[in-house]
Amino acid sequence: MGEGASGDKTLAADKEAEDLILGALRKVEGVGILSEEAGRLGPDRAETLAVVDPLDGSSNFERGIPFYCTSVGVVRGRSVDGMVVGVVRDLVTGDVYHAVRGRGARKNGRPIRTSRVSNLSSAVVGVDLSRGPSSVTSRLAPLISRAKRQVHFGANALELCLLADGSIDSFVDVRGMMRITDFAGASVIAGEAGAVITTPLGRKLAPEFDLAHRFSFVASANASLQRDILNRARFTAAL
């Protein structure tokens, strides 16, 4: 159905899912919307912003691979500290991940926590290498070779939720291609479950709430594993 506001192609399923979500959000007075397909909608100066990815993992959906989700994050203000609510629904299993800042994370209503794995050699690490430049792939080689196992399923929001519930121990995306719509909701869930999320240099993450902005991040189950990954991978400012 053409190209969405983010620059990716829009599937009929993307549009249908987005229409349903926008129809619900427009009933809430004073809420702005930033959606992967439709772009920025609603009041320009709205204090509260709903950040929507109607179908994260649309390439999986298109090919019949059963791993894709809907992600919604609620932001007050325009900083990562203002991301206060996250909801991700696995559209294959029906599992719902949900978190409110300061109240913990849940899966289908039950509390979840990240794993206790604290070193890279014991960790299952999600690494997104899709469409990444060869320079990034080569820099990730030390991390991939030292991890117990490296995986990638093709829907970043849902993979952050796998980090949140302890299914994987870390998720790394240093391609400089992450969008806020893929990240906002799931990052609240992962953070409330105990995950540590930083830039590849270990600094505080400060993504912009703009579809044109791209960024990288490293997320781990705990601070010890995060330090091990950052030290061994030796990421550089070029990432």
The full DSSP string for 78-110 is: SSGGGEEEEEEEETTT--EEEEETTS-EEETTE
Give the CA dihedral 124, 107, 190, 99, nearest 10 degrees. 180
Which of these ranges, 74-78, 125-129, 218-222, has the smallest mean pLDDT?
74-78
pTM: 0.90
Distance from C-alpha of 45 to C-alpha of 193, rounded to nearest angstrom? 31
Flag whether pLDDT at 216 surpasses 90: yes
- pLDDT tens across 86-110, in order? 999 999 999 999 999 999 999 999 9
CA 71/CA 212 separation, integer angstroms: 18
Residue ranges and CATH numbers for the domains of the chain are 12-112 (3.30.540.10), 120-233 (3.40.190.80)
> Cα separation of 227 and 23, whole Å?
43
